[in-house]
Amino acid sequence: MSLKAGDIITFERTFKAEDVALFIKVSGDEGSHHVTPDEQGRLVIQGLLTATLPTKIGGDNNVLARTMNFEFLRPVFTGDTIICKATIEQFEKQNNRTHITASFLCENQHKKEVMRGDFSGVIL
């Protein structure tokens, strides 16, 4: 893939209870809201599990991240489909490396913003 400033990359994922359980096993983040369903039978997704959406976009493009900033705006629940749109802000060669900076916005299936942020790094 040949990226350039202004490109928008989109990735979406629907989170399941199994995803929460696996993330608990890996991260140890087992707050009661991640293991006890709410009145609608949903679990709250860990914030950093939600953050795997923009990291997947970076990984798909061989980005070695140097900085990542996340702002968590509202909870994400099991059964939610989250759409992440990353906008390439900077993509340029400097000193034999390709530097990238991108911003991202994640919305749920109801078009409500759940997370936003940015990342920067180099392309391997």
Each residue's pLDDT, cut to its tens digit, for the chain (124 residues) gives 579 999 999 999 999 999 999 999 999 999 999 999 999 999 999 999 999 999 999 999 999 999 999 999 999 999 999 999 999 999 998 888 999 999 999 999 999 999 999 999 999 8
Residue 37 lies in a domain: no
Residue 89 domain flag: yes
In sequence order, which residues have a C-beta less than 8 Å from that of residue 58 and are 6 or more positions away?
65, 86, 102, 119, 121
Count of structural domains, the chain: 1
Q: Is residue 53 part of a domain?
A: yes
Range of the domain at 59: 8-14+46-123
Tell how strand 81-94 and strand 97-107 pair up.
antiparallel
Q: Per the domain annotation, does 101 fall within a domain?
A: yes
Question: Does some domain include residue 21?
Answer: no
pLDDT at position 72 is: 98
Asked whether the whole model's pTM tops 0.85, one would answer yes
Q: What is the CATH number of the domain that holds 111?
A: 3.10.129.10
Of 109, 119, 7, the C-alpha closest to 54 is 119
Asked if the structure places residue 23 within a domain, the reply is no
Q: Which helix (H) or strand (E) holds 27?
A: helix 17-27
Is residue 28 one of the residues assigned to a domain? no
29: in domain: no
